């Protein structure tokens, strides 16, 4: 048997501490009454305290989600892996697209995910560096939760290094039909990438451009300036994004992006799914039964 939430075992240790404190308190009450032997009422009170201790531990074990491996099933399907490379550089805080470029990236990704059917997705935020924030999964609800916490502070520096993000996922690409979707404003410096990947790029910015808010301690404090003291204007670098991709889209062309993904040839896959027998209900049921016993006992004492 294994437990999904093993960290909750510390709550059992806390319960042990509570029962120790309860026992010491019970002993002091007995001494205060100056009795040599416990009367029936005192014994019952201590016994009830022990029952509560057992109930708490049963609930904790239930929350730890005990389970036992049952079987493994191979499921065949046709789908592609999709890697979202998400630009989180400082320029993505620009508000030339409302509410800002970074939030628009998230909105585009959410709409794409809502139209997928079985594809696995992964998130790779990047700026001057990159890391895999969420590995490949087809749990889209979980993917949306991972997406919500992405912000421009995940990577400290603020450049735009798409090549570094591509290098990071090289060994994760298992088939020529795997899809890479780069969402970015394109950066400032020319990008020269000759990798033969199935890349879609999405321009998240406008040609007119916009200023970059200067965020200090979570609050906007003016705008980012260059070394000469001039306010920086960041614009869409469409050429960069076109040079590294087979298909280029504007952020508002979401339907075209979705259709292109659907029209991609899907690869045959075999995924192994492990099934488990869950046992949390037995522990939770036992706890509820003991609570019912205590309730009935208390009720009969009062009648």
Cα pseudo-dihedral 201, 206, 208, 210, rounded to 10 = -110
Predicted local confidence at residue 71, as pLDDT: 87
Predicted local confidence at residue 210, as pLDDT: 94
Q: Are 179 and 80 in contact (CB under 8 A)?
A: yes
Question: In whole angstroms, what is the distance from residue 23 CA to residue 29 CA?
Answer: 10
Indicate the pairing of strand 267-278 with strand 210-211.
Answer: unpaired
Predicted local confidence at residue 41, as pLDDT: 54
The rounded average pLDDT for each run of 10 residues, N- to C-terminus, in the chain (303 residues) is: 85 80 71 57 69 88 90 81 93 93 96 92 91 92 93 70 86 85 86 77 94 82 87 92 90 94 81 85 93 83 67
Q: What value, to the nearest 5°, has the Cα angle with vertex 181 and ends 178 and 183?
A: 170
Predicted local confidence at residue 84, as pLDDT: 97
Q: Which two tokens stand for residue 97?
A: 């697209």
pTM reported for the whole predicted model: 0.68
The fold adopted by the segment(s) 81-265 is: Rossmann fold (3.40.50)
Of how many residues is the chain composed?
Answer: 303
Predicted local confidence at residue 280, as pLDDT: 92
Predicted local confidence at residue 26, as pLDDT: 67
Structural domain boundaries in the chain: 2-70+276-302, 81-265
Residues contacting 46, CB < 8 A, separation 6+ = 23, 26, 38
Predicted local confidence at residue 31, as pLDDT: 66
């Amino acid at each position: 048997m294994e437990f999904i939430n093993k960290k909750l075992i510390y709550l059992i240790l806390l319960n042990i501490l509570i029962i120790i404190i309860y026992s010491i308190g019970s002993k002091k009450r007995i001494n205060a009454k100056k009795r040599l032997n416990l009367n029936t009422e005192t014994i019952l009170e201590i016994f009830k305290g022990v029952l509560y201790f057992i109930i708490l531990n049963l609930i904790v074990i239930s929350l730890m989600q005990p389970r036992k491996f049952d079987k493994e099933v191979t499921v065949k399907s046709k789908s592609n892996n999709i890697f979202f490379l998400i630009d989180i550089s400082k320029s993505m805080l620009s508000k030339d697209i409302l509410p800002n470029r970074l939030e628009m990236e998230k909105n585009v990704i959410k709409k794409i995910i809502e139209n997928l059917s079985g594809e696995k997705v992964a998130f790779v935020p990047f700026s001057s560096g990159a890391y895999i924030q969420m590995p490949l999964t087809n749990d889209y609800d979980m993917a949306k939760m991972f997406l919500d916490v992405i912000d421009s502070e995940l990577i400290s520096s603020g450049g735009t290094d798409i090549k570094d993000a591509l290098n990071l996922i090289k060994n994760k690409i298992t088939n020529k039909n795997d899809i890479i979707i780069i969402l970015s404003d394109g950066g400032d410096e020319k990008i020269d990438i000759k990798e033969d990947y199935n890349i879609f790029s999405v321009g998240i910015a406008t040609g007119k451009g916009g200023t970059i808010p200067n965020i200090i301690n979570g609050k906007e404090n003016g705008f980012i300036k260059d070394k000469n003291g001039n306010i920086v204007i960041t614009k869409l670098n469409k050429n960069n994004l076109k040079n590294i991709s087979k298909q280029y889209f504007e952020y508002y062309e979401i339907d075209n992006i979705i259709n292109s993904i659907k029209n991609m040839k899907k690869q045959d896959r075999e995924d192994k799914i492990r099934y488990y027998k869950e046992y949390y209900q037995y522990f939770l049921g036992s706890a509820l039964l003991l609570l019912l016993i205590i309730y009935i006992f208390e009720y009969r004492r009062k009648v």
